[in-house]
Structures are given as C-alpha cells and as structure tokens.
C-alpha cells in the first residue's frame, strides 16, 4: 500500500510540475499527463495495464468530475446568449462532423462503415478538459469563449450516444432509433441536471452547515449526484452534470470562492488520473503502424469536417466569419476521444483496437498543432486586439510572483474594530486594506474611513508581514486601537 501511495504521490507531483511547464508554452497539460502514463507503462517502467473495461469506467467517472468542475467555474452571463448556437453545435455539429469524417475515412483509408462511423463519432466532440485549460488563458471575446465552453460541456453526450449505437454487434444502423435515443438522452439528462441544480441550491440556502468546508463538498456532491442519477435513468449523465453545476455555480450560494477552488482541484486531480491511465493503456510499439491513418483522419477533421459542421450549425445565427474560422480551428480534442475509443473494444467490435491507437496519435499530434497556435490565430483574425489584457482568476497563484498573500476577514459583532479608522488600524507596512464590502456594496477605503460591524475586509500583505498583520488585526479587534497600551499583541488563540 505504501509503495502504491508513494508512486501515486510522485506521479501527482510530477504532473503538477508538468502543468506549470505546459501552461507557459500554451499547451494543454493533457499531453504531458499522457506522457507520464506512457513512461510508466510497459515500454517504460514496465507497469502492465491493458484492462479497457476498467479504463472505460474510470475514464467515464473522471469525465463526470471534469464536467462538474467546468460547470462550477462557468459564469452563466458568459454563455446565456450563446446557449442556442452552442446547443446546435453540440448536436447538429457532432452529427455533421461524424458523417463527413466517416465518409472520408471510408473512401481514403478503406475502413468499413462501422469502423469509419465509430472513428467519426469518437473524434466529433470538442474536449471539455482541453478547452477549459487552454481557452481560459487566451483573452477571447466573451461570446467566443463562452460558445466554445458551452459546446464542449454539452457535446460529449451526443458523441457518447453515437459511439454506443455504432458499437453494436452485429452492426445494424437504424436512423429512427438513433434520433429517439438522442432526444431521450439529451432531454431527460437536461431535466435531471436542472432539477438537481435548482433543488440543491434551494436546500443549501436554507441549511446552515456546521463547517464552511462542507459547502464545497455539498455543492460538488450535487453535481455528481446529477451525473449518477441521469446515468441510472439511461439518460445523458454528462449533460446532467454540466447543467446542474452551472445552475449551482450561478445561484448565489455561500462560499463560492472556496467551492470554485475545491472544484478546480478536483478537476485537476481527475484530469491527471484520467490521462495517466489512458497513457498506460496504449502500447507504444503498436502506434507507428497507425501514424498515417491518424494524420489523414486528423487533417480531414481539422480542415474539412470541423469547418463544415461549424458553418452548417451556425447558418441560422449571425456569427461573423472570423469567429466561425476560430471556432473551426479551436475544436480541441483530448481525453474524451481516447475514453470513447475504449467503448467499441469493450463491446467486442472487430478490429477496434486500431481505433485506440489512431485516436491517441491524432490527439497528441493535433493538440501540438492547435494548442500553441490558438492565441496567434485569434490575433490574426482580430479577435484579440494588440495590447489587450488577459482576464485572470484572482487567488494565491498570481500573487506568488510578488510574494504576496490575499486575506479576508469580517468585523464580527462585539469586535473593537468597530469605529476604528483605517489610519488608526496601523497595519504593518506594506499591508493595506484594498477593499471593504459593506451591506452588499464595495468601496476602496480612505485613511479616514471608519470600519463597522459586518464589514468584509480584503487585505493584501506580503508573506513576510502576514503574521504581524494578523496579530495587529486580532489585537485591535480585542482591545481597540490602543491595544498595545493594554499589553494586547494579538497572540493566536
């Protein structure tokens, strides 16, 4: 057990360092996670893992966690106006991309129709993990970024349904059955997700949990509950998880920052575990024979199938050609296609082992091409004007470069901080109160402004002065602005 935990912890830390390196060059971290899995596998350290069914189960669960994280970190204001085009891209776009890719693969590579349709369906959806990890560091207009995020959150479900239907043995294509299955899965999955989201939000507003750390757990658990409930009802678990999480994230629940941080950490852990497992599943010695089919299928997808699906899906919407061009190029693939490639293997489809190798090569090669080029393409299309600043998420990560910490505190009833001015507080230099939230309104305090009961303070300090700043705040809270005269120095406890 200890050896397994040691290896697991080491892989986790290596993957976290790899994430830092990948972010610096604009690559989705999935490539390095996959590399860690391959390195641990039979051609590296010799760990033999070839259980496609186990990989499918773990991969599906990890995708559920990733979609819950994506929903909990999505602002509804960013996707509200693009829900309709995103829905069409996630359904009609997936169908068009599947058919175009399958037809070309059948004609160019000689695949039989079942394998061709499977390959088309497997690579037809954009990957939520890849999109969330790359696009959030590219300063895109909100409409374009929101459209891609919403599409990647919804289009996994149609792709999964198509792959399951095409994995039937014997293969019997029934268009009517496909249509009914798609409608049922998407409609029921959406209803279950919305119900779990709204009911869960209502419950969390009315229940006072004994510890703040329970709120992120409860919120994340509701997203996973929607995922499991929809799956049990033979509906789309992916749509349910994403819909429920978006509702919960935008319902004004308490401890939103903690919930977001917990969701992001869980999402990263799921991504790392998922990609390492998928890297273990692949046999590097079998990849070389599938390089040409993978490159051909990838070029068809990138240059023909994806652009055609975008144009057809957005015919009824006034989306400028520049944005359509970027949407065509930004159709990133990642974990989802590799997980979906295990479905026909588990289903016993003849020669389906080739699909896993083809999809693995396709994901790696075209992520290397598309990922680093997204910002350049966006600038060339004038979607990012020169000098545009990038929107950042405020937490400890951007502050570590400055050696700074971001603190928050509330002036509680009975605190002697009440009626003390900012100047009289005398925080150690360079600590500063940057924002005060009072009765729902925020303002930047001046030295003569007085603190009041109920105020929420946002304090920026350095790591070196954090302890002394906290001591000063405790001291004044206990004995007032003359705390040192009463030998009160803010000792903890």
Residues 29 and 97 in one domain: yes
Instruction: For residues 11 and 84, state if they share a domain.
Output: yes
Do 436 and 318 reside in the same domain of the chain? no
Most confident among 13-27, 377-391, 403-417 (mean pLDDT): 403-417
**Domain check: are 322 and 420 in the same one?**
no
pLDDT in tens, 58-90: 888 888 898 888 888 877 877 778 888 988 988
Confidence bin at 391 (pLDDT 50/70/90): very low
- 35-46: per-residue pLDDT in tens? 777 777 766 676
Surface-to-core class of residue 181, CB atoms within 10 Å of its CB (0-12 exposed, 13-18 middle, 19+ buried): middle
Per residue in 138-181, pLDDT tens?
667 777 877 887 888 788 788 888 888 888 877 777 777 778 88
Stretch 198-219: mean pLDDT: 85
316 band by pLDDT with thresholds 50, 70 and 90 = confident
Q: How far is CA 374 from CA 94, 105, 226, in A?
A: 21, 26, 33
Domain closes at, from 380, 415, 432: 380
Q: Which domain holds residue 478?
A: 396-486
Distance between alpha carbon 116 and the CA centroid of its chain, in Å? 29
User: Rounded to an integer, what distance in angstroms lies between the CA atom of residue 95 and that of residue 98?
Assistant: 5
Positions of E strands within 305-439: 404-410, 432-438
Q: pLDDT of 443-479, one tens digit each?
A: 999 989 999 998 999 888 887 888 888 888 888 988 8
Per residue in 228-260, pLDDT (tens digit) is: 999 999 888 888 998 999 999 888 777 777 888
pLDDT tens, position by position, 8-33: 888 788 777 777 766 655 556 666 77
Average pLDDT over residues 300-326: 90
pLDDT > 70: what percent of the chain?
A: 90
b (16+ CB within 10 A) / e for 211-234: eeeebbebbbebbbbbbbbbbebe
Mean pLDDT, rounded, for 473-487: 86
Sequence-distant contacts of 81-85: CB under 8 A, at least 24 apart = 81/143, 81/146, 82/143, 82/146, 82/147, 82/150, 83/150, 84/317, 85/147, 85/313, 85/314, 85/317, 85/319
Is 302 inside any structural domain? yes
Share of the chain above pLDDT 90, in %: 17
Does the residue 327 lie in any domain? yes
User: Using an 8 Å Cβ cutoff, are 97 and 161 in contact?
Assistant: no
Any idea which residue has 């070309």 for tokens? 104
Structurally, the chain folds into a number of domains equal to 2
The Cα-based distances of 282 to 120, 148, 345 in angstroms read 20, 29, 13
Q: Are residues 357 and 403 in the same domain?
A: no
- Rg for the chain (alpha carbons), in Å? 26
Together in a domain, 375 and 427: no
pLDDT of residue 26: 53
Please report whether residue 152 resides in a domain.
yes
User: Is residue 343 pLDDT above 60, yes or no?
Assistant: yes
Tens-digit pLDDT profile for residues 88-146: 988 899 999 999 999 999 999 989 899 999 999 998 888 766 676 666 566 677 778 77
User: Is there a single domain that holds both residue 169 and residue 273?
Assistant: yes
319 shares a domain with 436: no
The helix (run of H) or strand (run of E) holding residue 41 is: none
pLDDT value for 390: 44
- Averaged confidence pLDDT in the chain: 82
The CATH number of the domain holding residue 282 is 1.20.1530.20
> What integer pLDDT is reported at residue 27 of this predicted model?
58
* Domain membership flag for residue 426: yes
What is the predicted pLDDT for the residue at 42?
Answer: 65
pLDDT band at 373 (very low <50, low <70, confident <90, very high): confident
Residues 345 and 250 grouped into a single domain: yes
Give the range with max mean pLDDT: 199-208, 294-303, 460-469.
294-303
DSSP string of 347-362, one letter each residue: HT-TTTHHHHHHHHHH
**pLDDT at res. 135:** 60
Residue where a domain stops, chosen among 332, 353, 380: 380
Lowest mean pLDDT among 1-5, 106-110, 205-209, 464-468: 205-209
Q: Mean pLDDT over residues 292-320, rounded?
A: 90
Query: Domain containing 405 — which CATH number?
Result: 3.30.70.1450
pLDDT digits (tens, 9 = 90+) for 394-403: 443 445 555 6
Residues 442, 410 share a domain: yes
Residue 389 counted as domain residue: no
Q: Of 351, 380, 409, at which residue does a domain stop? A: 380
At 299 the pLDDT is: 93
Give yes or no: residues 452 and 411 share one domain: yes
Distance (Å, whole) CA 435 – CA 430:
15
Which pLDDT does position 226 carry in this prediction? 94
Residue 366 lies in a domain: yes
HEC profile of 100-139: HHHHHHHHHHCCCHHHHHHHHHHCCCCCHHHHHHHHCCCC
pLDDT at 147: 85
Does the residue 135 lie in any domain? Answer: yes
21 and 156 assigned to the same domain:
yes
Answer whether residue 391 is part of any domain: no
452-to-39, 187, 292, 439, 457 alpha-carbon distances in Å: 58, 50, 69, 10, 10
């Amino acid at each position: 057990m200890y050896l397994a935990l040691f290896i697991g912890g080491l892989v986790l830390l290596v993957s976290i360092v790899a994430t830092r390196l990948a972010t610096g060059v604009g690559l989705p971290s999935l490539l390095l996670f996959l590399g860690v899995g391959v390195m641990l596998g039979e051609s590296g350290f010799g760990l033999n893992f070839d259980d496609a069914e186990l990989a499918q189960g773990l991969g599906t669960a990890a995708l559920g966690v990733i979609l819950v994280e994506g929903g909990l970190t999505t602002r509804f204001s960013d996707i509200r106006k693009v829900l309709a085009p995103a829905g069409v891209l996630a359904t009609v776009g997936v169908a068009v991309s599947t058919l175009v890719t399958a037809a070309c693969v059948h004609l160019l590579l000689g695949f039989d129709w079942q394998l061709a349709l499977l390959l088309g369906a497997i690579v037809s959806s954009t990957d939520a993990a890849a999109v969330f990890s790359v696009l959030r560091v590219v300063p895109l207009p909100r409409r374009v970024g929101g459209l891609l995020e919403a599409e990647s959150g919804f289009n996994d479900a149609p792709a999964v349904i198509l792959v399951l239907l095409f994995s039937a043995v014997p293969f019997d294509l029934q268009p009517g059955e496909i249509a009914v299955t798609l409608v049922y899965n998407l409609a029921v999955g959406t209803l279950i997700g919305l119900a779990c989201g709204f009911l869960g939000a209502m419950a969390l507003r009315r229940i006072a949990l004994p510890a703040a750390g329970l709120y992120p757990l409860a919120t994340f658990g509701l997203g996973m509950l929607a995922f499991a409930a929809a799956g049990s009802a033979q509906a789309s678990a992916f749509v349910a998880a994403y819909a429920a999480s978006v509702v919960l994230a935008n319902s004004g629940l308490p401890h939103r920052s903690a919930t977001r941080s917990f969701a992001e950490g869980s999402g990263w852990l799921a991504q790392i575990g998922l990609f390492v497992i998928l890297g273990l599943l692949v046999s590097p010695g079998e990849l070389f024979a599938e390089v040409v089919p993978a490159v051909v299928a990838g070029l068809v997808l990138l240059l023909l199938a994806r652009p055609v699906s975008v144009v057809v899906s957005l015919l009824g919407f006034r989306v400028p050609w520049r944005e359509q061009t970027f949407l065509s190029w930004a159709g990133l693939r990642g974990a989802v296609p590799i997980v979906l490639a295990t479905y026909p293997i588990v289903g016993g489809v003849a020669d389906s082992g080739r699909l896993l190798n083809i999809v693995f090569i396709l994901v790696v090669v075209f992520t290397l091409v598309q990922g680093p080029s997204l910002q350049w393409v966006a600038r060339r299309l004038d979607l990012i004007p020169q000098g545009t600043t990038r929107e950042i998420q405020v937490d400890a990560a951007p502050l570590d470069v400055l050696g700074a910490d971001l603190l928050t505190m509330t002036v509680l009833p009975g605190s002697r901080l009440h009626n003390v001015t900012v100047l009289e507080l005398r925080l150690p230099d360079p600590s500063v109160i940057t924002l005060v939230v009072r009765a729902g309104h925020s303002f930047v305090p001046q030295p003569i402004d007085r603190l009041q009961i109920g105020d929420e303070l946002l304090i920026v300090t350095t790591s070196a002065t954090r302890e002394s700043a906290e001591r000063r705040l405790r001291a004044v809270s206990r004995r007032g602005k003359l705390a040192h005269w009463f030998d009160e120095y803010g000792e903890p406890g």
